[in-house]
């Protein structure tokens, strides 16, 4: 046994969890791992949540950190932090492959779930994720397409892209969205120019439908016209308008339809003047 550090601590006992082969816990500056490095006898303790440090700063100011609960969804390589208040923004973290094939952490936030305690485990070959609320009810996650009959709101917005030169205006013509869908849903697409400058004109909201998506295995009926394995329309084309030195794209849904996953985005644009 060797001491690693005397200036580090776990601020929430229930945040300690084994994930991705490492031991994660919530420290004073975010999520930290305890994992071995390539150096013999060395231990990695650098925060894995540095890029979302402002989120944890808000947590420490507005939430009771000791009441946090964490659950691991193994089939998705994902963990979720929950607070007892259903108006609190919970945190979802997952391991994803970057463009250079390295494993990185990606994060999003979740609202609307009151979780006093959470747990996950396999029953046979199926993983069950459950949580209990303040009324004594037990809920199963990863099932259904609504929050107890209410719509599920989702929002994803890209960073602002300036395409190499931040001083040249770009005229955007179309957006190609590559996605996986579990069924039919309507997705609203918005464009924001020049870091949402008040003097920039943003176009109206566009939309596309995932109608024609492949059926989920287990619900498809042979001979009904459902297509097995794969989305026959994995790309949605959206003709857009507007121009700016930089552009960000948002995707919004607010319904009880099937879920979808955005895999990649491609933009067709032309170069304008330099200002």
pLDDT at 131: 93
Pairing mode, strands 206-209 and 186-193: antiparallel
**β-strand partners of 177:** 236, 265
The one-digit pLDDT tens for each residue of the chain (275 residues) are: 777 666 567 888 888 888 877 888 888 888 888 875 555 556 666 778 888 888 888 888 888 888 888 999 998 889 999 988 888 889 999 988 777 777 788 899 998 888 889 999 999 889 999 999 888 899 999 888 888 888 999 999 999 999 989 999 999 999 999 988 888 889 999 999 999 888 888 999 999 988 755 555 555 555 555 545 444 557 889 999 999 999 999 999 999 998 888 888 999 999 998 87
**β-strand partners of 225:** none
DSSP SS3 for 151? coil
The C-alpha atoms of residue 133 and residue 118 are separated, in whole angstroms, by 9
**β-strand partners of 270:** 171
Place of tokens 């996650």: 141
pLDDT at 100: 72
> Tokens representing 213?
């998506």
Instruction: State the CATH class of domain 154-274.
Output: mainly beta
Please tell me what DSSP assigns to residue 145: S
**φ, ψ of residue 148 in degrees (nearest 5):** 50, 45
Closest CA to 120 of 161, 176, 178, 80: 80
pLDDT at 238: 94
Count the residues in the chain. 275
DSSP string, 173-226: EEEEEEEEESS--EEEEEEEEGGG-TTSPPPPPEEEE-TTPPPPTTT--TTSS-
Closest CA to 153 of 20, 265, 257, 68: 257
Q: Are 59 and 65 in contact (CB under 8 A)?
A: yes
pLDDT at 223: 53
Please tell me what DSSP assigns to residue 61: H
Q: What predicted TM-score, i.e. pTM, was given to this entire model?
A: 0.79
> Tokens representing 235?
């790309």
> Tokens representing 73?
């969804």
């Amino acid at each position: 046994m060797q001491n690693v550090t005397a200036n580090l601590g776990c601020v929430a006992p229930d945040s300690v969890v084994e994930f991705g082969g490492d031991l994660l816990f919530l420290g004073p500056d975010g999520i930290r791992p305890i994992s071995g490095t390539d150096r013999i006898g060395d231990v990695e303790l650098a925060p894995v949540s540095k890029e979302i440090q402002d989120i944890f700063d808000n947590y420490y100011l507005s939430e009771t950190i000791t009441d946090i609960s964490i659950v691991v969804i193994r089939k998705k390589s994902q963990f979720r932090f929950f607070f007892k208040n259903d108006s609190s923004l919970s945190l979802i973290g997952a391991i994803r492959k970057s463009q250079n094939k390295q494993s990185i952490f990606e994060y999003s936030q979740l609202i609307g779930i009151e979780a006093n305690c959470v747990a996950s485990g396999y029953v046979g070959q199926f993983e069950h994720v459950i949580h209990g609320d303040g009324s004594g009810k037990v809920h199963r996650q990863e099932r259904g397409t609504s929050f107890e009959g209410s719509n599920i709101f989702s929002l994803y917005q890209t960073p602002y892209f300036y395409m190499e030169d931040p001083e040249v205006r770009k005229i955007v013509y179309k957006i190609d969205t590559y996605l996986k869908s579990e069924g039919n849903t309507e997705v609203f697409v918005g464009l924001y120019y020049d870091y949402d400058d008040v003097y920039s004109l943003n176009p109206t909201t566009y939309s596309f439908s995932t109608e024609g998506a492949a059926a989920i295995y287990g619900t498809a009926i042979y001979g009904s016209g459902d297509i097995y394995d794969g989305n026959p329309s994995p790309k949605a084309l959206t003709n857009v308008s507007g121009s700016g030195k930089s552009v960000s794209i948002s995707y919004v849904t607010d319904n009880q339809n099937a879920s979808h996953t955005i895999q990649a985005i491609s933009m067709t644009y032309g170069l304008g003047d330099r200002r």
